[in-house]
Copies of this chain bind each other. A is one copy, B any other.
Amino acid sequence: MERLKEQGVVLGIGDDAAVVEAPPGSGGALQWLLAVDTMVETVHFNGATMAEADVGWKALAANISDIAAMGGEPRHALISVSAPRAWEPARVRRLYDGLYACAEHYGVAVVGGDTTSSPGQLVVAVTVVGTVTAGKAIRRSGAQPGDAVFVTGPVGMAAAGLHYLLAAAEAGGGQFVPLAAAEAAGTAALVQAHRRPAPSVRAARMLAARGTVSSLNDISDGLASEAWEIAEASGVKILLREGQLPVSGSMASYASCAGIRPLEWILNGGEDYVLLGTISGSDAAAAKAELMEAGLPLYLIGEVEAGQASVEMITEGKAGIDPNRQYPKQRTRIDKRGYNHFTD
């Protein structure tokens, strides 16, 4: 109830529609952000990789991330759950528990819900309403030559977590993989990145307030694809420096066990829900320092150049894909759907 009041909810779930106030004191100084996202069982998850509560958390988190990716503040959510007929009410309840836990964590008021029974698989559609200072929404199209390219957290962990979960589920006969198993395997951080993504809302707000962020996307489809979106929308070349990409320790060890190049997950993985953006080159270091002060990471991973829209990777010396080889410094074009054209 406190949450509803705080978010200007005049009337929540229960009538035909929810009623919300313009945020107090906004006096027309705010614009509203609206985003919708859908999660479908077996396309986005299955019973072995995600518990019901994880599905609820992630469905909302993905939408909150969209609001963050505009530099906005998430406020209200509306939920549509179409649950298989065979589901007991307790399963739907657990889904909502996870969803409400995420809402609570990010200060979002759930103001609408529609639960239907479905002859098929689970479908969860979430709409989030947020606000942003009028005229200050950060689009994909503003990247300028000279800007620095950043991410707000390690990339590829969620994909590595999914890789582990699918392998463990196969080994376990399709049973749900408990977190304890992941802990034993040293992959708990990866599994949590997949199941309970943590959108960069605070980082987005701090970055937006600086006024120097020229473009912003959340990484739902992989770094390569999101970088291409910015490059094409802005009409610029995005350069990524391989040696500056943040690689989590647990991803690196799991990748080496699994015999997979971490760069695959980083470029093509997706569902990390950290932010990729560009910021005025002259403000990048100060922004990084401000976020660090607040305990938030900001990784500067490349630059924006003038030129035909494209994404390229700069590999320097030892930072190549095979740590035991010495690579010459080189530029390689990154494919939109990922890292297919690396030459060594």
Contacts and interface: CB of A to CB of B under 8 A. Distances in A.
B17 A130 contact: yes
A123 B127 CA distance: 15
A296 to B, nearest CB: 19
Given A118-B43, A130-B17, A32 B34 contact: no
Contact of A137 (B19, B33, B82, B114): B19
A16 B114 contact: no
Contacts of A37: 80, 114
A159 B41 CA distance: 32
Complex copy number for this chain: 2
Contacts of A114: 36-38, 125
Contacts of A38: 80-82, 114, 116, 125
Max chain B Cβ within 10 angstroms of own Cβ: one of A16, A114, A218: A16
Interface SS of A by simple majority: strand
Given A120-B119, A121-B118, A34 B76 contact: yes
Contact of A217 (B16, B112, B121): B16
A255 interface: no
B82 A34 contact: no
B123 A118 contact: yes
Interface string A19-52: 1111000111011111111101111000000000
Contacts of A27: 27-28
A188 to B, nearest CB: 29
B17 A72 contact: yes
A189 interface: no
Nearest to A132: B19
A297 B88 CA distance: 44
A119 B15 contact: no
A256 to B, nearest CB: 34
Nearest to A216: B16
B10 A137 contact: yes
Contacts of A113: 36
B21 A34 contact: no
A272 interface: no
Contacts of A81: 38
B79 A36 contact: yes
12 contacts: A10-B31, A15-B70, A16-B70, A17-B33, A21-B134, A22-B30, A34-B112, A36-B127, A37-B80, A37-B114, A38-B80, A43-B117
